Amino acid sequence: MNVPIKCSCSKVQGYLEDVSPKCGNHLKCMCDDCQRFAEYLNNETHILDENGGTEIFQVSPSSIKFTQGQENLTCLRLTQKGILRWYTSCCNTPIANTISYKMAFAGVILNCLDFSGLNKDDVLGPVKYYCMAKYCIGDAPEGANAGFSKLLTLKIIISLLIGRLLKRYSPNPFFNEETGQPISKPFILIKPIQ
Ligand SMILES: [Zn+2]
Ligand SMILES: [Zn+2]
């Protein structure tokens, strides 16, 4: 099934194609960088859960389709070499985290998915991984990993290798297919937000 993508002001719309619990990794990341990104967007109350966790579904970028408002996609790097964190400039809705063009990886942040009329846990399956609990606010959820889950890391490495072989990085809505550069020049946030 396709799940609609919609920013909070509805300028940016699209869909996540052929979603099922098998096609991605459903996780919460409680790391300080994800928390800092939410703070930068001034949108912590919507993005972060009670543990400071961001809910993410990791998929191939080729399954992310935008139908309007793509020009509002903006990206940020917290540090010079940090991952590319995409959000909408119209209303600061986080969209996804990506690495680079040929890395067939996009961690879609659930705030941009519209589950109206759908049961999220049926569509994505329940959250399987609670990562980076060393930055957790309050008591960590049961089964949380202090760092990144080893199983999840292995799954990501395998899917990156397969994604490279099968060219799952293309089409890619976040990068220029000819140059491999992000469609919006990353803004680098060097100073941490206090
Ligand atoms: Zn918007
Ligand atoms: Zn994180």
Number of structural domains found in the chain: 1
| Residue 71 forms part of a structural domain | yes
pLDDT the model gives residue 51: 97
3-state secondary structure of 96: strand
Q: Which ligand is nearest to the CA of 28?
A: 2
Output the domain CATH number for residue 45: 2.170.150.70
| Residue 157 forms part of a structural domain | yes
- Residue range 57-116, pLDDT digits in tens: 999 999 999 999 999 999 999 988 889 999 999 999 999 999 999 999 999 999 999 999
Q: Which ligand is nearest to the CA of 5?
A: 1
C-alpha of residue 148 to centroid of ligand 2, in Å: 9
Q: Which ligand is nearest to the CA of 92?
A: 1
C-alpha of residue 54 to centroid of ligand 1, in Å: 19
Q: Which ligand is nearest to the CA of 37?
A: 2
pLDDT the model gives residue 81: 84
Spell out which residues have Cβ within 5 A of ligand 1, the ion.
7, 9, 11, 88, 90-91
Supply the range of the domain harboring residue 145: 3-115+124-188
Burial of 184 (0-12, 13-18, 19+ CB in 10 A): middle
| Residue 193 forms part of a structural domain | no
| Segments of the chain assigned E as strands | 3-6, 13-16, 25-29, 54-59, 64-68, 73-77, 84-88, 94-98, 106-109, 129-131, 187-188
- Residue range 7-24, pLDDT digits in tens: 999 999 999 999 999 999
| Residue 36 forms part of a structural domain | yes
CB atoms under 10 Å from CB of 161, counted, come to 11
Whether the Cβ atoms of residue 186 and residue 77 lie closer than 8 Å to each other = yes
- Residue range 153-190, pLDDT digits in tens: 999 999 999 999 999 999 999 999 999 999 999 999 87
**Quick check: 193 pLDDT over 70?**
no
Peptide bond into 4 cis (omega under 30): no
**Quick check: 194 pLDDT over 60?**
no
- Its pTM stands at 0.94
| Residue 135 forms part of a structural domain | yes
